[in-house]
Amino acid sequence: MEVIIDHKALECDITHSEIEFLSRKILDLNKQLIDSEKAKSRFLSLVANSLINPISVLLSMIPHLDPKNDVRSAKIYDTVYEQALVLDFRIQNLLAAAEIENGQVDISYALIDPTELVNEAIKSLKYAILEKNIQINIHNTIEQKVVSDPKKLYLIIRNLLDNGCFYGIKNGIIDVSIEEKESKLLVSVKNQGEGPKVEHKPQIFTRFAYGPEGYHGLGIGLSIVRDLCELMDGTIDYEADTSSVTFTMTLPLETNLSNSEAYGSNEFLFESFDDAIEL
């Protein structure tokens, strides 16, 4: 019996030292990988930050140039406005990616109406929607406002809708459902058209990884959606059949707004440290 125990201990020791050895090796390899990525990350952050101010000015000024009745100018105006909106969307995604990489993402909760966020996202994607003549139906079963991070939720919804518009068929329908289930906020975006196959799932949420459908945007939208959902303790997944694809995100619904913001969130967990160990 003693011999068996010794064998087990020995095996355990070998496994431990092997894992330590391999972990050190992974760490070394990872350092090289990180170094090569570092330059890219810095560039990403720099570009996003230097572009955000000019595009904000452009977007606020362009609506004042609306030529209204001049058909030729109206076409030019629409093209300029459309491209400015696309550019703004891509810069917002670059900024979000840079923030996530820097670990500077602060969650700030507020009372929001999810339908309003969806409508705002629709407004920013109006040209893509018009081009494909897509009809968007919103089904919101939540009557009251919810507590969540509006900026992040907006970016998630905007990316999901943009994805739906790009992969959705012409003259198709996009259904946006908003519901509450087991204290979680569920937002799903269903578009008609062939969806990405299940075997492509790991790629779909990976940045710069393109599926067989080809290139679209920067290839970081859905990776940002995944990271933002994870940061807020939520999830993102999709289901696809031959005629439609549905992306569904869940976020836990916060119930206490004041505790989350002004006084240091979740401090109730730390009401007493009287008998704590001090190190």
Binding site for other proteins (CB under 8 A): 16, 19-20, 23-24, 26-27, 30-31, 33-34, 37, 41, 97, 100-105, 107, 202, 205-207, 223-224, 226-227, 230-231, 233, 263-267, 269-270, 273, 275-279
In angstroms, what is the minimal distance from the CB of 260 to other proteins?
Answer: 9
Question: DSSP string spanning 173-212?
Answer: EEEEEEEEETTEEEEEEEEESPPPPGGGHHHHTSTT---T
Q: Which is nearer to other proteins, 152 or 226 (CB)?
A: 226
Q: Which is nearer to other proteins, 129 or 224 (CB)?
A: 224
Q: CB-hemisphere CA count at 13 Å for 160? A: 32
In angstroms, what is the minimal distance from the CB of 200 to other proteins?
Answer: 14
Q: Which is nearer to other proteins, 86 or 107 (CB)?
A: 107
Residue found by looking up tokens 């968007």 in the block? 136
- Contact indicator for 261, 243 with CB cutoff of 8 Å: no
Q: Which is nearer to other proteins, 193 or 254 (CB)?
A: 254
- In whole angstroms, what is the distance from residue 121 CA to residue 47 CA? 24
In angstroms, what is the minimal distance from the CB of 263 to other proteins?
Answer: 7
In angstroms, what is the minimal distance from the CB of 181 to other proteins?
Answer: 17
Q: Own/partner pairs for 204-207, CB < 8 Å, 24+ apart?
A: 204/238, 205/236, 207/97
Q: What is the dihedral of CA 13, 19, 20, 24, to 10 degrees?
A: 160
Q: Which is nearer to other proteins, 97 or 160 (CB)?
A: 97
In angstroms, what is the minimal distance from the CB of 155 to other proteins?
Answer: 14
Q: Which is nearer to other proteins, 71 or 279 (CB)?
A: 279
Sheet strands (E) in 97-172: 110-112, 135-140, 146-148
What is the Cα Rg of the chain in Å? 24
In angstroms, what is the minimal distance from the CB of 101 to other proteins?
Answer: 5
